[in-house]
Amino acid sequence: MTREPDRDRNSSPDDAADQPLLSLPTDLRDELKEPFGPIETDAEELLERAGTPIIAVGDMVTYHLRTAGTAPDVSVVDGQTERQAVDAEIREAVTTETALSVEISNPPAVLTEALVLALVDALERPEPTTIVVDGEEDLAALPAIVAAPDGASVVYGQPGEGMVHVTVTETVREEVRALLERFEGDRERLWTLLS
């Protein structure tokens, strides 16, 4: 089943949810290469230490967690890994084995309102949800960390190394908030959506 994310967070019909809400400044790109948690290479070991809910950002991360026997509570996928299309088998595995699927647009190096709303809505749902992004999902881990409850696990890919496992705490959340404050765009709207 596919549905659009709810638009009940003080939005108006004129809101352009697919337009960039925040853009990544060039000078922050290197900082984002530093992982927010330990890098794991074994999905089963990661899952033994994972809290709930589990939010997976990336096709390969989602695939490895599902192959290890656990469907993430929220998956964010875009059909690519390291700027290359994923195999059809992986694409099918990460987009078809879920209770609910939401399709949104999110261009590279930005966060759209549609992506942030879809994350928040997915975290409120009891059933596993896959957010299928037309564009790029690379920055989705940031609002996911802010929106997720303490103890949740946000897992995203670290190119060429493995999966970064972030256990959400207030300390990590504040670190990510400080980073997002340095993005360009409507930060006030972002905090409204994430509150």
pLDDT of residue 188: 96
95-139: pLDDT as tens digits: 776 768 899 999 999 999 999 999 999 999 999 999 999 999 999
This model's pTM is above 0.85:
yes
78 is an annotated ligand-binding site residue: yes
Strand-pair partners of 155: 56, 165
pLDDT over 50 at 2, yes or no: no
Q: In what order do the strands lie in the sheet with 162-167?
A: 39-40, 162-167, 153-158, 54-57, 74-77, 129-135, 100-106
174 is an annotated ligand-binding site residue: no
161 is an annotated ligand-binding site residue: no
8 is an annotated ligand-binding site residue: no
pLDDT of residue 93: 74
The sign one gets for the Cα dihedral 10, 133, 129, 154 is negative
130-156: pLDDT as tens digits: 999 999 999 999 999 999 999 999 999
